[in-house]
Chain A
Amino acid sequence: MKKVIEGSMAVAEAVKVCRPHVISAYPITPQTHIVENLSQFVADGELKAEFLNVESEFGAASVVLGASATGARAYSATTAQGLLLMVEVLFNIAGLRLPVVITCTNRAVSAPINIWNDQQDAMTIRDSGWIMLFAEDNQEAADMHLQAFKIGEHPEIMLPVMVNMDGFILTHAFEPIEFIDQKMADEFLPPFKPELYLTPKNPLTFGVLAEPDWYMETRYRLQKAIEASTDMIEEVADQFKKTFGRYQGGLVEKYRLDGAETVIVSMGSVVGTIKEVVDALRDKGKKIGVLKIRTFRPFPKEAIYDALKNVKNVIVMEKAISLGATGILYDEIKAALYGKPSQPKVSGFIAGLGGRDIPKESIMKVIEKGEAGISDNVFVDLKENLIGGK
């Protein structure tokens, strides 16, 4: 059944059919509609879950940590400053190997304060041990949540998953959404039954002190688990397709890559606009395609190399920057190609920070520039008149 609903509602509906036991959240724009909808489901008895309003995002993350360690399926949502406030707990959730799922409705971080979309927030937790997925549209965002729980809760993975969707652009957009049937969801996502959890029946110590002779091995195993999730992400996407009839997952999406000489690499909702530009250019006979990064952690180096190895120009467009260095995705794409037999030319563009529009014309200009030579750290559509001085 298809219905035109808001992105946040689509996510709330998807989370509902995942049957979480515990939901905890603190309000922050543009995440609020998701948890408002979920709290309404709980209030109406449509979802049997404990919904906890807490004193901060830090508290929200801590609550879902405790709940997950007790064997409950736990969910929260956040964005930007809220995500930053959670960071310490997020590292702990991963270190404790707890398959919590959090939606991050991507938003710029302050200062200056700005509530609109970019992906700088999510980039701050890229090293925390979370699996990170990025949605292009609302259907994908909704569907990713079912997959997120399934991937994270797999006994060999046991890792938290963050589903990223662009704030406002997706969260507040109305699109036709295929609703997920509860029966099919139950079939796809069985109840969470962790092997180890807090119970007096089997008293265990969680979150120990590990001295130098033990700590490194725990990080190694974390690294191995997140690497292992690379295959699991694809497997779960295949299973999702079998159950629901649509492929909505995996590591990357290759769009019109056949014989492409130029490929634009990006993540999130802007990929939709890029695809339109590419379609128009393909119609004119230009050999161009798009590589959408759906899974940012684990970083799918091999899938990326495989997609880009026969390409002349790679153009990375992203909504975040590691200040003092370069665009983060740009950096990582280059690293994925380095030392390999084939070395396409890679250019990096920073676009759409703090909700700045990315019109098709700007994407055209980026393509021209990227094809002309290697461009590094180019801020797209910068207003020179506002910069002043140096």
Chain B
Amino acid sequence: MTIEKKEKEEILESQLAPGHKACTGCGLALAARTVMNTAGKDVIVTAATGCLEVFSTSYPQSAWKMPWIHSLFENSAAVAAGIEVALKALGREKEAKIIAQGGDGATADIGIGCLSGMFERGHNILYVCYDNEAYMNTGVQRSGLTPFEAWTSTSPSGKVSWGNPTEKKNMPAIAAAHGIPYVATASVAYLKDLEKKVKKALDIVGPKYLQIHAPCPLGWAHEPWDTIKVAKLAVQTGLIPLYEMENGVITSVRKIAKKAPVEEYLKLQGRFKHLFKKPGFEKELERIQAMADATIKKFNLM
């Protein structure tokens, strides 16, 4: 397949430069590129430790075309807060918009304290959570956003286990509970929708939270070329609702045209393969289907 000239130019102009070390089919890389291209050049970006930082900043190279800082796993939001107040104190607040980034582990687990502080203090920062539903960078361990019954290396399925025993922590609701002006969920399957949300968020003054569902072929054990397909199915089953909340109220949801059964989503991924093997699996599938149906009802997705 030849790359068209225009497409080539577009890639080279991308704010997240090509040539980084993400795995083939990485949903996170696609999400980050889309966020950065939408945000443009006049931003300052922080990042938590994780795949994104590891695959894009291997010294002496960097894929980032904007000022970018990584400090630690759990302080992306607090470092961003420091940047924001520093710009204010130095009279440079017009210089840049600030985007703080983290994976699901950095956001919902270890970094939730700093994130909560950032929300509470009302910093003018967009926080982006790339949700690939586990600690991928360290070898696929369970995080607070790992879905129910998914296999990870620390929530394995076994003779007496169906995988991760807990449901995804409701991070968008936790963010919204801080009374921040904008909370949204997005998916790499719907890039236009993602772009729209990034643009909208960056125009709002105050703390914003955006959680992007981003499949990880390595951790989810799906084919790299199925990333978009898998991401789309997550939305179409109802498991991953896409919505916006403004000042605590849901203002938009992405409707599901034709509901897909959860089975279709689960069976594409190695991390759910145990659900189809052990006796009694039908009951487990029913439980997950019920969760999807409840989400569809709750968000009025159909």
Contacts and interface: CB of A to CB of B under 8 A. Distances in A.
Contact of A52 (B43, B71, B121): B121
B67 A55 contact: no
B181 to A, nearest CB: 20
A64 B83 CA distance: 9
Interface stretch (A137-145, A196-204, A290-298): A196-204
B19 to A, nearest CB: 14
A210 B86 contact: no
Contacts of B95: 199-201
Given A55-B120, A205-B64, A66 B89 contact: no
A63 B71 contact: no
Nearest to B40: A200
A67 B85 contact: yes
Interface stretch (B55-63, B150-158, B201-209): B55-63
A198 B83 contact: yes
A160 to B, nearest CB: 13
Given A22-B85, A22-B89, A205-B62, A59 B114 contact: yes
B90 interface: yes
A59 B64 CA distance: 25
**What is the predominant secondary structure among interface residues of chain B facing chain A?**
mixed
A81 interface: no
A70 B70 contact: no
Contact of A69 (B66, B69, B81): B69
A202 B116 CA distance: 31
Nearest to A207: B70
Nearest to A100: B82
A111 interface: no
B86 A72 contact: yes
Nearest to A51: B85
Interface stretch (A31-39, A88-96, A178-186, A305-313): A88-96
B233 interface: no
Contact of B116 (A21, A55, A88): A55
A276 interface: no
Given A24-B82, A59-B113, A63-B78, A206 B69 contact: yes
B82 A58 contact: no
Interface in B41-60: 41-44, 46, 53-54, 57-60
Interface centre among B75, B88, B95 (most CB of A within 10 A): B75
Given A200-B41, A205-B62, A58 B113 contact: yes
Contact of B59 (A69, A202, A208): A208
A220 interface: no
Contacts of B96: 199-200
Interface string A51-75: 0111110110011111111111010
A209 B82 contact: no
Given A24-B82, A199-B96, A66 B69 contact: yes
Interface in A186-222: 198-211, 214
A66 B82 contact: yes
A49 interface: yes
Given A66-B78, A209-B53, A203 B83 contact: no
30 contacts: A21-B90, A22-B89, A48-B89, A50-B85, A50-B89, A52-B81, A53-B121, A55-B120, A58-B114, A59-B81, A62-B81, A63-B82, A64-B82, A67-B82, A67-B83, A69-B69, A70-B92, A72-B86, A198-B44, A198-B69, A199-B44, A199-B96, A200-B44, A203-B65, A204-B68, A207-B69, A207-B71, A210-B59, A211-B59, A214-B59
Q: Return the 4 tightest CB-CB contacts between A and B, nearest first.
A: A66-B82, A62-B78, A55-B117, A66-B79
Given A54-B81, A56-B114, 14 more contacts: A49-B89, A55-B120, A62-B78, A62-B79, A63-B85, A65-B75, A65-B79, A65-B82, A68-B82, A72-B85, A203-B65, A204-B68, A207-B71, A208-B57
Interface of B: 41-44, 46, 53-54, 57-60, 62, 64-72, 74-75, 78-83, 85-90, 92, 95-96, 113-114, 116-117, 120-121
